[in-house]
Amino acid sequence: MANYKVKVLDVRPVTHNVHAFTIEKPEGFNYVPGQATDLSIVKENWENEKRPFTFTSLQESDFLQFTIKSYPDRNGVTNQLLYVEPGDYFEISDAWGAIEYQGEGVFLAGGAGITPFIAIFRDLYSRNKIGNNKLFFSNKTTADIILKEEFETMLGNNFHKIISAENVDGCYYGRINKGFLQENITDFTRHFYVCGPDPFIASILDALQELGAHAETLVFEK
């Protein structure tokens, strides 16, 4: 797998703890919406600290973009990203990953697990092919919702916000679990796209299969 040294072109806030990083796109670089790369910061002591991050830009753009949540309480790569500025460098690998669009369905995301779906929905929207795809996006608070206005524009009433730590108008109060899925989904023969923390993925996949979803229709990072 090849590696590429690329310059950071822009850094901008998305939420209180999420930033969008725009970087150079290597000549001939390709990826499928939903795929990721292994990324490191080209700074002393951090060059070998590779972490997976998902592309959130459109394929046809002349740049690459990542939308990354930082965890300041952890002295890791995402915390170091808070100090990255335009002109700094990343190293990225070729694209990889099992998440890609396979047809209309239901997208289930927990927190920063939304990132593979950003590129998928941006791609579909740019081609006027959003269709009847639905997104159920779970977060602790409304302040944690990544790209809320953009998802509302792209998906309209098919964008559903689930909040576990606040009870606010326009959002479902609680968590995505078997009961929630049973209450809000009538057709379990559709494609289901699942991404989030490992416990979230495991519990959602188990619940979907108990409710009749077929293994071949479940799209997640294996």
Q: How confident is the model at residue 222 (pLDDT cuts 50, 70, 90)?
A: confident
pTM of the model: 0.95
pLDDT value, residue 40: 98
Q: What is the pLDDT of residue 1?
A: 81
User: What number of other Cβ atoms are within 10 A of residue 23's Cβ?
Assistant: 23
Class of domain 3-93: mainly beta
**3-93 against 105-219: fold identical:** no
pLDDT tens sequence across 81-99: 999 999 999 999 999 999 9
Rounded mean pLDDT, 209-222? 95
pLDDT value at 73 more than 90: no
pLDDT in tens, 21-72: 999 999 999 999 999 999 999 999 999 999 999 999 999 999 999 999 998 8
CATH number of 105-219: 3.40.50.80
C-alpha angle with apex 161: 150 to 95, nearest 5 degrees?
A: 55
pLDDT digits (tens, 9 = 90+) for 98-148: 999 999 999 999 999 999 999 999 999 999 999 999 999 999 999 999 999
pLDDT for the residue 141: 97
For the chain, give every domain's residue range: 3-93, 105-219
154-210 pLDDT, tens digit per residue, is: 999 999 999 999 999 999 999 999 999 999 999 999 999 999 999 999 999 999 999
Exposed / middle / buried, residue 90 (Cβ in 10 Å: 0-12, 13-18, 19+): buried
